[in-house]
Amino acid sequence: MMFLNNSQIVIDGDLHKRIHMNITRLDQTDYLPDNKFFMNVEWPGDWEGRILLAMVNGAAATGRIPVYYEEYLGRLTKLLTENGYMGPKINDGSVNEQQLAGNSWLLRALCDLYEWRGEQHIYNLIKGMCETLILPLRERIADYPVSEQERGLAAGDGRADGWIVCEANGWLCSSDTGCLFIMLDGATHAYSILHNPILKEVIETIISKFTEADLTASSYQTHASLTAARGIMRFYFDTQEEKYINIAKNVFCLYKSKGMTENHANINWFNRPDWTEPCAVIDSYMLACQLFTATKDPSYIADAHNIYYNAILPAQRINGGFGCDNCVGWRGAQALSMIMYDAYWCCTMRGGEGLSKAARYTATQDKNGLYIINYHNAVVITENITLRLETEYPNNGYIRLETLSGNLVCVYMFVPPFAENTAVLVNGKPVNINIENGFVCLPPLSKDNIVEFKFDIPLQTVKCFTPINGTVIKHGTLLLAKQLDDAYISMPDTRGLTRINDVDAVYKDNADNIFKPLSCMTDLTEEEVKRVRMQFVFNAER
């Protein structure tokens, strides 16, 4: 099963608007190529990689070229042609894991650019980075200190931008614990292009070292852990070795149980619920979608929907950037509030990649047909069929498909686990359906068919999965929250909650308290976001 490429998804609607908001943010003066983070000595390649990754993905998804894209690419091409990678030369001295993590983002950006444009000089830069940076590390990986004991650190060191906190076993170790393993993302992406057997051996060595780590006991950064798992998933797709998908599954399972907030964002380090980080939230969304393509397990799509609507969208600000929030469900927190308005040096750029990947992840296909797994307004184009997809999801269970061209293609629609009274109409007439493994298979479609996929979305109360031991109210996949003026409120009587209209997933109770989805935060000004306290956990034991 494979995702479609960017040229096969023409996105529209809310996601289209959000991608353009992010590109507009990247066009602002914070992202001038002379920014202080360019050629950063603490994180070589990190700023350059994340900004280029966001620009390439945004341009591929929309066709809009960011203002500074050509200048960034020109400067980076010159630097990489001369030096091979960003930062000081790695020799027999200590290896800086932040340098490897930063360059991995740059390598990822170049790989995405090559897959988009197919230009030989970009291929040469990818090859050069691997030969000068990654391959020489083969003998150094075994000494990497994976535990707190080896590093001589206590859990609790760290800050939002990461820094070198110690030297151990010939490695300069970061407060972003385990960030070496971010390199698995860039290295595996490069391997999928180059198929270099020595690079494969290095990747296998890094994965082996990663499996030695106790991610929770050593409080690994969840962003680094999930990025590593994404890289391992990509390696699985190339090698088809079952052990690699099992590693990725285990990381995702661990993350869901010990690294997630109640709104499906992340805690920045395992055992340290200090703040959320959209970089990691994006990683978790991408990993969930990738796990579905490998397993066809629909629970991963349900995870992806929960993450997208309750964590990714609320983290995007009205300026198009992405910021960090508190960790609801941990340390007694019942309400979402802002920690950092716009983490422009990292999360805003990864947010750009995440939104663009969400567009691409609208659909996937295999020999059996086309699978619509994420519901966005879009035109979906394959060799056999072109569909216009219009949706009211997640507010309403209504998706409309119009076949613009093609004939007799099997299309599968994801059925959310909460859906009730599912029905399909073809050209206005009901048809018999079977739901199997989380999907309804539509009758073979031909040109000018119009399909309406309908289901009811119930209002539910659900026990919290985080340590807080409370209850949440959900409209389908959407968590419902009340803006607080003062203290936490008790659980409202859901029998008294009424929806205010048929368009929005907004409810009020008998006392006229308003409960709305967390994604409404994107519509707020900076000052309003700073005042936000959106309670969505109720009746918690404190």
Q: Which of 160, 178, 193 is the last residue in one of the domains? A: 193
How many other CB atoms are found less than 10 A from the CB of residue 278?
28
Burial of 512 (0-12, 13-18, 19+ CB in 10 A): exposed
Which residue has tokens 């020595």? Answer: 198
Cα angle 517, 521, 527 (rounded to 5 degrees) comes to 150
Are 80 and 126 a contacting pair, CB within 8 Å? Answer: no
Q: At what angle do helices 347-360 and 13-26 cross, to 10 degrees?
A: 150
Which of 193, 213, 244 is at the close of a domain? Answer: 193
Q: How many C-beta atoms surround the C-beta of residue 36 within 10 A?
A: 9
| 46 in a structural domain | yes
- 335 located within any domain: no
| Burial annotation 307-316 (CB, 10 A radius, 16+ → b, else e) | bbbbbbbbbb
Q: What gap in Å lies between CA 519 and CA 513, rounded to an integer?
A: 18
Question: How many CA within 13 A on the CB side of residue 309?
Answer: 22
Q: How far apart are CA 286 and CA 356, in angstroms?
A: 11
Task: Give the span between the Cα atoms of 171 and 335, in whole angstroms.
Answer: 40
Burial of 7 (0-12, 13-18, 19+ CB in 10 A): exposed
Peptide bond into 314 cis (omega under 30): no
- For residue 27, tell me if it sits in a domain: no
What are the C-alpha distances in Å from 23 to residues 140, 307, 349? 39, 22, 9
- What tokens appear for 97 in the block? 């894991």
Q: Which domain holds residue 506?
A: 459-535
The DSSP symbol for 212 reads T
How many angstroms separate the CA atoms of 30 and 68, rounded?
Answer: 11
Pairing of strands 411-414, 439-441: antiparallel
Contact (CB, 8 A) for 152 and 169: no
Domains identified in the chain, total number: 2
- Per DSSP bridges, beta strands 363-366 and 369-372 are antiparallel
Distance of CA 303 to the CA centre of its chain: 11
Through-space distance between the first and last CA atoms of the chain, rounded to whole angstroms: 46
Residue 165 CA: distances (Å) to CA of 143, 155, 346, 356, 478: 17, 12, 20, 34, 40
In single-letter form, the type of residue at position 507 comes to Y
Last residue of one domain, picked from the residues 133, 164, 193:
193
User: 390 with 350: CB under 8 angstroms?
Assistant: no
Q: Which two tokens stand for residue 213?
A: 């780590």
Residue 102's nearest CA partner among 26, 51, 167 is 51
Encoded amino acid at 370, one letter: L
In a domain, 464, yes or no: yes
**Structure confidence at residue 157 (pLDDT):** 55
Counting every residue, how long is the chain? 542
3-state secondary structure (DSSP) of residue 149: helix
Locate tokens 């990509």: which residue?
Answer: 234
Q: What is the pLDDT of residue 152?
A: 72
Contact 61, 20 (CB under 8 A): no
Cβ proximity of 231 and 189 under 8 Å: yes
Residue 527 domain-assigned (yes or no) = yes
Q: Is residue 494 part of a domain?
A: yes
At residue 36, the pLDDT reads 65
The SS3 of residue 31 is helix
Structure confidence at residue 189 (pLDDT): 98
Secondary structure (H, E, C), 42-93: CCCCHHHHHHHHHHHHHHHHHCCCCCCHHHHHHHHHHHHHHHCCCCCCCCCC
Residue type, 376: H
Residue pointed to by tokens 């959407």: 478
Q: Is the pTM of this model over 0.95?
A: yes
What backbone phi and psi angles, to 5 degrees, belong to 446? -130, 175
Helical residues (DSSP H) of 405-499, grouped into ranges: none
pLDDT for 92 equals: 75
Placement of tokens 């389908």 in the chain: 476
Is residue 107 situated within a structural domain?
yes
CA distance 263 to 307: 7
The pLDDT profile of the chain, 542 residues, written as one tens digit per residue, is 999 999 999 999 999 999 999 999 999 999 998 876 677 778 999 999 999 999 999 999 999 999 999 999 999 999 999 999 999 998 878 999 999 999 999 999 999 999 999 999 999 999 999 999 999 999 999 999 999 888 875 544 555 567 899 999 999 999 999 999 999 999 999 999 999 999 999 999 999 999 999 999 999 999 999 999 999 999 999 999 999 999 999 999 999 999 999 999 999 999 999 999 999 999 999 999 999 999 999 999 999 999 999 999 999 999 999 999 999 999 999 999 999 999 999 999 999 999 999 999 999 999 989 999 999 999 999 998 999 999 999 999 999 999 999 877 899 999 999 999 999 999 999 999 999 999 999 988 888 999 999 999 999 999 999 999 899 999 999 999 999 988 899 999 999 999 999 999 999 999 899 999 999 888 899 999 999 999 999 987 65
CA-based max dimension of the chain: 72
Sign of CA dihedral 31, 33, 35, 41: positive
Is residue 252 one of the residues assigned to a domain? no
